[in-house]
Amino acid sequence: MRIFWVLFKKELRAFFVSPVAYIVLALVMVLSGFSFRAALSVLESAPSEGSIVTWTFHAMWFWLSYFFIFPLLTMRLFAEEKKMGTLETLFTAPVHAWQVVWSKYLAAVFVYCVLWIPSYLNFRFVDWITVGQVEVPEGALKGSYLILLAMGLFNLAIGCFASSLTSNQIIAAVISFTISLLHFLAGLFIMVVGRRVSETFVDIINYFASMEHIRIFTSGLIDTRPLVYYTSFALLFIALTHQVVEFRRWRP
Amino acid sequence: MISRVAFLRLGSLNDGPFVLFTLNTISHMIEVQDLTKQYAGRTAVDHISFKVEPGEIVGFLGPNGAGKSTTMRMLAGYMPPSSGRASVNGHDVFQASMDVRRSVGYMPEMAPLYTDMRVKEYLRFRAELKGLSGKTLRQRVGDVMDQCAISDVRRRLIGNLSKGYRQRVALADALVHQPPLLILDEPTNGLDPVQIRHVRELLKNLGPKHTILLSTHILQEVEAICDRVIMIHKGKIRAMDTPENLTRKLRAASIVQLELQGKGDFIPLLEALPGVRKATEDGVQDGWILFSLRVEARHDAREAIMDLCLRQKWKIRELHWQLPSLEDVFVELATTEAAKA
Instruction: Quote the pTM value.
Output: 0.82
* Contact between residue A11 and residue B133 where contact means Cβ atoms under 8 Å apart: no
The answer to whether residue A40 is domain-embedded is yes
What's the pLDDT band for B62 if we cut at 50, 70, 90?
confident
* Most confident residue range from A60-69, B32-41, B135-144, B222-231: B135-144
* Number of domains observed in the structure of chain B: 2
Q: Is B318 a member of any domain?
A: yes
A63-92 pLDDT tens trace: 878 888 999 999 999 999 999 999 999 999
Mutate which of B35, B39, B115, B129 to disrupt the A interface (most A C-beta within 10 Å)?
B129
Chain A segment 4-23 residues within 8 A of B by beta carbon are 6-7, 10, 14, 17-18
Residues of chain B in contact with residue A251, where contact means CB-CB under 8 angstroms, are 80, 82, 94
Among the partner residues B94, B104, B125, nearest to A6 by beta-carbon distance = B125
The answer to whether residues B195 and B145 belong to one domain is yes
Q: pLDDT tens-digit profile of B69-83?
A: 999 999 998 888 989
Mean pLDDT of chain B, nearest integer: 83
Closest CA in chain A for residue B170: A89
The answer to whether B106 touches A87, Cβ cutoff 8 Å, is no
* 3-class secondary-structure state, position B257: strand
Measured in angstroms, the CA of A93 and the nearest CA of chain B are apart by: 6
Q: Do B130 and A248 touch (CB under 8 A)?
A: no
Q: Are strands B315-322 and B254-261 parallel, antiparallel or unpaired?
A: antiparallel
Chain A residue numbers with beta carbons less than 8 Å from the beta carbon of B102 are 94
- DSSP secondary structure string for all residues of B168-233: HHHHHHHHTT--SEEEEESTTTT--HHHHHHHHHHHHHHTTTSEEEEEES-HHHHHHH-SEEEEEE
The length of chain B is 341
Nearest CA in chain B to A100: B129
- DSSP β-bridge partners for residue B261: B315
Residues B179, B297 within the same domain? no
Residue B339 belongs to some domain of the structure: no
Q: Which residues of B touch A80 (CB under 8 A)?
A: none
- Classify residue A88: in a domain, yes or no: yes
Q: Which range, A52-66, B59-73, B140-154, has the best average confidence (pLDDT)?
A: B140-154
Same domain for B304 and B237, yes or no, is: no
Please state the separation of Cα B110 from the chain's center in Å.
16
B49 burial type by CB count under 10 A (0-12 exposed, 13-18 middle, 19+ buried): middle
Residue A71 structural domain:
2-247
Question: pLDDT tens, A121-167?
Answer: 888 888 888 877 777 788 888 888 999 999 999 999 999 999 999 99
pLDDT, tens digit, 9 for 90 and up, residues B102-114? 999 999 988 899 9
* Residue B23 scores a pLDDT above 60: no
B88 touches chain A (CB under 8 A): no
Is B57 in the same domain as B180?
Answer: yes
pLDDT at B20: 43
Q: Is B34 helix (H, G, I), strand (E, B) or coil?
A: strand
Question: Residue B230 in contact with residue B58, Cβ under 8 Å?
Answer: yes
What phi and psi values does residue B103 have, to the nearest 5 degrees?
Answer: -85, -5
Same domain, B122 and B53: yes
Query: What CA dihedral angle connects B75, B79, B82 and B88, to 10 degrees?
Result: 20
d(C-alpha A234, C-alpha B115), whole Å: 30
Which chain B residues are within 8 Å of A17, Cβ to Cβ?
116
Nearest to B129 among A3, A84, A88 (CB): A3
Domain count, chain A: 1
Under DSSP, is residue B60 helix (H, G, I), strand (E, B) or coil? Answer: strand
Q: What is the pLDDT of residue A47?
A: 74
pLDDT band for position A171 (cuts 50, 70, 90): very high
| Residue B271 belongs to a domain | yes
Same domain, B301 and B240: no
* Gap from B115 CA to chain A (nearest CA, Å): 9
Question: What is the DSSP secondary structure assignment for residue B151, as one 8-state letter?
Answer: G
pLDDT at A9: 94
Q: Which of B192, B214, B248 delimits the end of a domain? A: B248
Residue B326's pLDDT band, with cuts at 50, 70 and 90, is low
Judge if B129 and B269 occupy the same domain. Answer: no
Is the residue at A203 inside a domain? yes
At B164, which amino acid appears?
G
User: Which of A162-171, A195-204, B289-298 has the highest average model confidence (pLDDT)?
Assistant: A162-171
Kindly state whether residues B50 and B90 are assigned to the same domain.
Answer: yes
Is A89 touching B (CB cutoff 8 A)? yes
Instruction: Report the SS3 class of residue B276.
Output: strand
Domain at B170, CATH number:
3.40.50.300
8-state DSSP, B92: E
For residue B22, the model assigns a pLDDT of 43
Last residue of a domain, one of B222, B248, B274: B248
Q: Are B163 and B190 in contact (CB under 8 A)?
A: yes
- Same-domain check for residues B74 and B207: yes
Is residue A252, in this structure, part of any structural domain at all?
A: no
Q: Is the pLDDT of residue A217 over 80?
A: yes
pLDDT-derived band of residue B9, with 50, 70 and 90 as boundaries? very low
| Inside any domain, residue B335 | no
Q: Listing from the earlier edge strand, what are the strands of the sheet with B288-295?
A: B276-285, B288-295, B254-261, B315-322
Distances (CA, A) of B151 to B119, B171, B172, B272: 9, 13, 11, 63
Burial class (CB in 10 A: 0-12, 13-18, 19+), A136: middle
Last residue of a domain, one of B216, B248, B280: B248
Does the pLDDT of residue A242 top 70, yes or no? yes
Structural domain that includes position B157: 2-248
Per-residue pLDDT, A163 = 95
Together in a domain, B259 and B290: yes
pLDDT value for B19: 41
Degrees (nearest 5) of the Cα angle A149, A151, A156? 90
* Among B residues 145-174, those touching chain A with beta carbons less than 8 Å apart: 170, 173
Q: Does B173 have pLDDT greater than 50?
A: yes
pLDDT given for residue A33 in this prediction: 87
Q: Could you tell me how many CB contacts below 8 A there are between chain A and chain B?
A: 64
Q: Does any domain span residue B48?
A: yes
Mean pLDDT computed over B82-100:
90
Band (B297; pLDDT cuts 50, 70, 90): low
Residue B319: give its domain's CATH number: 3.30.70.1340
Distance from CA of B243 to the nearest CA of A (A): 30
ipTM of the complex: 0.87
Q: Give domain status of residue B340, yes or no.
A: no
Same domain, B100 and B236: yes
Q: Has residue A158 been placed in a domain?
A: yes
Between these two residues, A72 and B221, which has the higher pLDDT value? A72
Domain identity same for B73 and B204? yes
